[in-house]
Amino acid sequence: MSKNKDINYIWTDKKRTFLGLPLSFTRYYLTETKLIVRTGFFNITEDEVELYKITDKKLLRPFGQRLCGCGTIIIYSKDVSAPELEIHSVKKVRNVLNMIDENLNKVRDKYGIRGRDLMGLSNSHNTDDYDESHTDDNDI
């Protein structure tokens, strides 16, 4: 599979398995504006999250991953298709998190967006529109 030459990847890595070996069909890409997770071998699925939609990040370093120099990053976003995106078992996890932070701040500065600007947006469908006047008392 050839990479698109028009996309400038800042960072790329594979999901690591036993002993930190990159024996997986899950690949991670970071561009200036997006975080992309590509999974699969025959059937490929890509999840993209625009960096400006990220609301929070969590760093996990379980004992087994720490032994191999790896860690996991969980990204929380206001993206409908991927509200919680996990970047499993990557090397130099602290450096990767810093790269995400740097590019996140650059994109937000470029568009004049802050995290508080995303708080009014909702990931789920609005259930407040449910009209209770259509219920039948006979259904009881």
User: Quick one: pLDDT band at residue 129, thresholds 50, 70, 90?
Assistant: very low
CATH number for the domain including 79? Answer: 2.30.29.30
Residue 130 has pLDDT above 50, yes or no: no
In a domain, 126, yes or no: no
CB contact burial 26-64 (16+ within 10 A = b; e otherwise): bbbbbbebbbbbbeeeeeeeeebbebbbbbeeeeeeeee
Tokens representing 9 are: 């990847």
Number of domains in the chain: 1
**Tens-digit pLDDT profile for residues 19-54:** 788 888 999 999 999 999 999 999 999 999 999 999
Reported pTM: 0.76
In a domain, 134, yes or no: no
In a domain, 128, yes or no: no
In a domain, 5, yes or no: no
In a domain, 6, yes or no: no
In a domain, 110, yes or no: yes
Radius of gyration of the chain (CA): 19
The one-letter amino acid at 93: V
Q: What is the dihedral of CA 134, 136, 137, 138, to 10 degrees?
A: 180
Domain that residue 55 falls in: 11-115
- DSSP states along 22-44: --SSEEEEE-SSEEEEEE-SSS-
Tokens representing 114 are: 């802050």
Question: Please, which residues have CB within 8 angstroms of residue 83's CB and are 6 or more apart in sequence?
Answer: 76, 77, 123
